[in-house]
Amino acid sequence: FLSVLSKYENQITIFTDYLEEYPDTDELVWILGKQHLLKTEKSKLLSDISARLWFTYRRKFSPIGGTGPSSDAGWGCMLRCGQMMLAQALICRHLGREDWSWEKQKEQPKEYQRILQCFLDRKDCCYSIHQMAQMGVGEGKSIGEWFGPNTVAQVLKKLALFDEWNSLAVYVSMDNTVVIEDIKKMCRVLPLSADTAGDRPLDYLTASNQSKGTSAHCPAWKPLLLIVPLRLGINQINPVYVDAFKECFKMPQSLGALGGKPNNAYYFIGFLGDELIFLDPHTTQTFVDTEENGTVNDQTFHCLQSPQRMNILNLDPSVALGFFCKEEKDFDNWCSLVQKEILKENLRMFELVQKHPSHWPPFVPPAKPEVTTTGAEFIDSTEQLEEFDLEEDFEILSV
């Protein structure tokens, strides 16, 4: 009976919203900044989509917080979508958007395995469902409660502080406004020389006061994960935003969007005409751990079915756009694309400004909380979380 039940559970969402074969059309399909001509490049398109890491509901993992749920079915879909967006950023960071491809059974570079291991359903993996659910407590979400796109963004911003391997700067925009000055302040860091490298924070050095010609003093750039939470209407998406929203999927920095329908999150990765293409986390699979040789069997982390589509006007208006800028020139390029394509609209989807607004609190780049227990990886239970003064230690200023 249980095996029948698990088979049924796996099929449960395949009946809803499932698509007919992709139509034969001369239209372009855009997937995360890459275009495919549907008529002639259908197999290339499908393999590009199946290469994305796909995170779904899982069951039979160790209980969250020791006594909490051992499955996220029914509540973890937005967390899984956040994981997919972040995983795409890490793939761009280590493997590149253009150069890397995935095939079943094909041996992958070691960075690929390491990225996958960041997301396994274990409390010691930095972006696991355990870490995300527990970090959500500091955002006012109890474990097992559904997250919205902005909450996931805030949680990823905090967890990234404990991820030294990727060393990402995560910026979550506030009030529909992206501030160039604040992002540059957060991402430009002065590389420390070996003798001074300690625990002190990396210093920010402006380009203007560098000593010319000494590469040792050039500010390095922390790879940027930029998340823009938006409300594109009151109860449904306002059609005036459709073109600008689609334009974001064409940008080479695109990480897609988090959104969907109320309590039903999807990871949107592209579009065809007025239909959005998405990866759906609503399939329950069994927990997968590393094998004895230290690798992860990745067969259940890629969606090999034809991807699902949804009319853009059926989208819930609460969404979060994601972008990845590995180098400063990628961010500068993103700014000029936004000025050209997003800010030209009469009703702008979001604002991009040079200077920090004077009526906002000062911008404080996120820093690791100064607590005796140093990392989220050591938070084993919600009781332990509640011992901290959450406001002071865990709530990082979101401006």
* Active site (catalytic) residues: 77, 280, 282
Q: DSSP per residue over 61-126, as a string?
A: SPPGGGTS-SB-TTT-HHHHHHHHHHHHHHHHHHT-TTT----TT----HHHHHHHHTTSSSTTST
3 state DSSP class of 250: helix
- Please name the helix (run of DSSP H) or strand (run of DSSP E) that holds residue 129, with its range, or none: helix 129-135
Cα–Cα distance for residue pair 97/95, rounded to 1 Å: 7
User: What is the β-pairing status of strands 220-221 and 264-272?
Assistant: unpaired
3 state DSSP class of 255: strand
Residue with tokens 């000494």, as numbered in its chain: 214
Q: Could you give the C-alpha distances from 209 to 101, 175, 197, 364, in angstroms and in order? A: 41, 32, 21, 21
User: What is the β-pairing status of strands 169-172 and 224-231?
Assistant: parallel
Residue 212: alpha-carbon gap to chain centroid: 36
